């Protein structure tokens, strides 16, 4: 990725604290819309952050316990940690529409194009190992920056400290990674709207 991408990106990347990709991505959208930011780990905690015991010292306040099926991190699939509930609690003027991976079969490109062409905000949740070709099994979330339908590519802003901030991935591969992670783990597209 060259510097021209950084200059044309709709988002300023925010690097995630461990297990906090969801909160980092929400913060990128908040920053874009000039919504006052809050501490990443505070937002992640409200979204149900759970980490391995040996990592608890990295956080001021955190839950530890057995690794959830979706992997360590937030637990927004549980009603008590649902994004809209937490946005309201924290007075963050956003709401989220969840489009499950199974409901998007063959429509990921079309759906992302529609959101991006309207200058909207979308996050994608997927199995990280499947998308990036590693042995890791667990969810990850990135912000959708741009889409090139002709080439079959989507440009993601990745909050991970160990990945490039902008990366182009094949839409077909992204769709497969969504399906592996599963609807019950919130895989799919998360469309965000700013409340008026």
24-33, 55-64, 103-112, 142-151: range with lowest mean pLDDT: 103-112
In whole angstroms, what is the distance from residue 95 CA to residue 86 CA?
10
CATH superfamily to which 14-194 belongs? Phytochelatin synthase, N-terminal domain (3.90.70.30)
Is residue 101 over pLDDT 70? yes
How confident is the model over 66-82, as a mean pLDDT? 92
Tell me which residue of 175, 176, 159, 181 sits closest to 70, measured CA to CA: 181
pLDDT band, residue 3 (cuts 50/70/90): low
Distance CA 38, CA 23 (A): 10
Decide if pLDDT at 141 tops 50: yes
Average pLDDT of the residues of the chain: 92
Specify the pLDDT at position 1. 47
Long-range CB contacts (< 8 A, 24+ apart) of 69-72?
A: 69/184, 69/185, 70/138, 70/139, 70/181, 70/185, 70/186, 71/137, 71/138, 71/139, 72/19, 72/138
pLDDT of 195 reads 84
**Higher pLDDT among residues 182 and 185, named by residue:** 185
* Residues 33 and 87 sit within 8 Å (Cβ to Cβ): no
| pLDDT recorded at residue 88 | 97
**What tens digit of pLDDT does each residue of 121-136 get?**
999 999 988 888 887 7
- Quote the pLDDT of residue 63: 96
């Amino acid at each position: 990725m060259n510097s021209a991408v950084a200059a044309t990106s709709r988002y300023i990347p925010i690097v995630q604290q461990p297990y906090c990709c969801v909160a980092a991505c929400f913060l990128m959208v908040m920053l874009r819309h000039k919504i006052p930011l809050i501490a990443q780990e505070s937002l992640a905690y409200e979204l149900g952050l759970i980490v391995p015991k040996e990592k608890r010292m990295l956080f001021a306040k955190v839950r530890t316990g057995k690794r959830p099926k979706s992997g360590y991190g937030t637990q927004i699939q549980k009603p008590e940690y649902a994004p809209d509930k937490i946005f309201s609690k924290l007075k963050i003027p956003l709401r989220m529409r969840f489009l499950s991976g199974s409901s998007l079969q063959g429509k990921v490109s079309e759906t992302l194009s529609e959101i991006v062409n309207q200058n909207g905000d979308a996050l994608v949740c997927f199995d990280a190992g499947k998308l990036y070709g590693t042995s890791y099994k667990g969810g990850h979330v990135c912000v959708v920056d741009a889409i090139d339908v002709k080439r079959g590519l989507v440009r993601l802003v990745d909050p991970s400290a160990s990945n490039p901030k902008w990366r182009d991935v094949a839409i077909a591969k992204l769709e497969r990674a969504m399906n592996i992670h599963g609807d019950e783990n919130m895989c799919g597209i998360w469309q965000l709207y700013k409340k008026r």
